[in-house]
Structure 1
Amino acid sequence: MTSNLRRALMATATGLCMLATGTAFAQDFPSKAVTIIVPYQAGGGTDAIARPLASKLSKKWGQPVVVENRPGANGMIATQTAIRSEPDGHTILYHLTGIIQNPLLLKNVAYDPMKDVIPVFQIGGQALALTVPRSSAVNSLDQLVTDGKSKGDRGLIYGTVGVGHSSHIWSELLASERKFKATHAAYKGTVPLVIDLVSGRLDWAFIAPNEALIRTNDNTLKALTVTGTKRVKQLPGVATMHELGYPGFEMVGWHGLFVPAGTPATVVNKIEVDVREAMGDPEIQKILDTQVVDYTGYGSAEFGKVMRNDSAGWAALFKRFNIQIN
Structure 2
Amino acid sequence: MHSTLRPLLNVLLFAGAALAASFAQAQDYPNKPVTLVVGFAPGGSADIMARLLAQKLGDSLGQPVVVDNKPGAGATIATAAVAASRPDGYTLLLVTSGHAGSGALYSRLGYDPLKSFEPVAKVGASPIVIVAPAAGPFRTLKDVIDAARRSPGKLNYAAGGGGATTTSLAAEFLKSDAKIDMVMVPYKGSGPALTALLSGEVDLGFDIPSSALPHIKSGKLRPVAVTTRTRSSVLPEVPTVAEQGIPGFEVTGWFGVLAPAGTPSAIVARLNKDINALLNEPDTKSRLQDLGVEVGTGSPADFGRLIAGDTRRYGDAIRKLGIKVD
TM-score by length of 1: 0.81
The answer to whether 1:270 aligns with 2:274 is no
8 Å CA contact 1:251–1:310 kept in 2: the answer is: no
- The aligned residue for residue 232 of structure 1 is 232
Deviation at 1:209, TM superposition (A): 2.2
2:297 alignment partner AA: G
- Sequence identity (%): 31
- The aligned residue for residue 155 of structure 2 is 157
2:261 alignment partner AA: A
Distance 1:171 1:42, change over 3 A: closer
Aligned-residue Cα RMSD (Å) equals 3.2
Deviates more, 1:253-262 or 1:215-224: 215-224
Q: Deviations over 1:116-173 (max 9, x none)?
A: 1111111112221233555677655456556666x3x658724232662544443443
Distance 1:154 1:43 in 2: 32
Which has the higher Rg, Structure 1 or Structure 2? 1
Q: Deviations over 1:12-65 (max 9, x none)?
A: 434433332222222222233322222333454434333343333333333333
Distance 1:215 1:59, change over 3 A: closer
What stretches of structure 1 of length at least 5 have no aligned partner?
none
What stretches of structure 2 of length at least 5 have no aligned partner?
188-192
The answer to whether 1:193 aligns with 2:197 is yes
- The aligned residue for residue 51 of structure 2 is 51
Deviation at 1:234, TM superposition (A): 0.9
TM-score by length of 2: 0.81
Deviates more, 1:255-264 or 1:236-245: 236-245
Q: Deviations over 1:76-134 (max 9, x none)?
A: 33223222222111211222234333333234221111111111111112221233555
SS of match in other structure, 1:292: coil
Q: Deviations over 1:235-257 (max 9, x none)?
A: 01223334556345323222211
1:59 alignment partner AA: D
Distance 1:174 1:291 in 2: 24
- The aligned residue for residue 285 of structure 2 is 285
1:192 alignment partner AA: A
Deviates more, 1:262-271 or 1:15-24: 15-24
Distance 1:25 1:159, change over 3 A: same
Instruction: State the 4+ residue runs in structure 1 displaced beyond 6 angstroms.
Output: 135-138
Distance 2:69 2:174 in 1: 35
Q: Deviations over 1:273-325 (max 9, x none)?
A: 11111222333334323433222124311111111122222223322332222
Distance 1:264 1:209, change over 3 A: same
Distance 1:118 1:2 in 2: 38
Instruction: For 1:195-274, list aligned pairs within 5 A.
Output: 195-196=199-200, 202=203, 204-210=204-210, 212-242=212-242, 246-274=246-274
Distance 1:65 1:307 in 2: 24
Deviates more, 1:211-220 or 1:267-276: 211-220
8 Å CA contact 1:53–1:284 kept in 2: the answer is: no
8 Å CA contact 2:198–2:221 kept in 1: the answer is: no
SS of match in other structure, 1:297: coil
The answer to whether 1:71 aligns with 2:68 is no
Deviates more, 1:241-250 or 1:30-39: 241-250
Instruction: For 1:9-20, list aligned pairs within 5 A.
Output: 9-20=9-20
- The aligned residue for residue 92 of structure 1 is 92
The answer to whether 1:38 aligns with 2:42 is no
- The aligned residue for residue 81 of structure 1 is 81
Equivalenced residue count is 319
2:294 alignment partner AA: D
Deviates more, 1:61-70 or 1:211-220: 211-220
